[in-house]
Amino acid sequence: MMRKQTGLTLIEIMIAVAILAILSAIAVPLYQGYVVEARYGTALKDIRQMQLILDDLALDNSLAAIEPAGYTPPADVNVYTNDNGIQVAGSAPAGTQPWLDPWGNIYRYQRTAATANPQEYELRSAGPDGSFDNADDAIPD
DSSP string of 23-80, one letter each residue: HHHHHHHHHHHHHHHHHHHHHHHHHHHHHHHHHHHHHHH-GGGTSPTT--TT-EEEEE
Domain assignment present for residue 5? The answer is no
Average pLDDT, stretch 94-113? 86
Q: Which domain holds residue 93?
A: 10-124
Domain assignment present for residue 95? The answer is yes
Domain assignment present for residue 35? The answer is yes
Question: Is beta strand 85-89 parallel, antiparallel or unpaired with respect to 97-98?
Answer: unpaired
pLDDT for res 85: 78
Domain assignment present for residue 138? The answer is no
Q: How far apart are CA 95 and CA 9, in angstroms?
A: 65
pTM for the full predicted model: 0.70
Domain assignment present for residue 130? The answer is no
**pLDDT, tens only, 45-101:** 999 998 888 887 777 766 555 565 555 555 677 888 888 778 877 788 888 899 999
Average pLDDT value for the chain: 82
Domain assignment present for residue 140? The answer is no
Domain assignment present for residue 100? The answer is yes
What is the count of structural domains for the chain? 1
Domain assignment present for residue 133? The answer is no
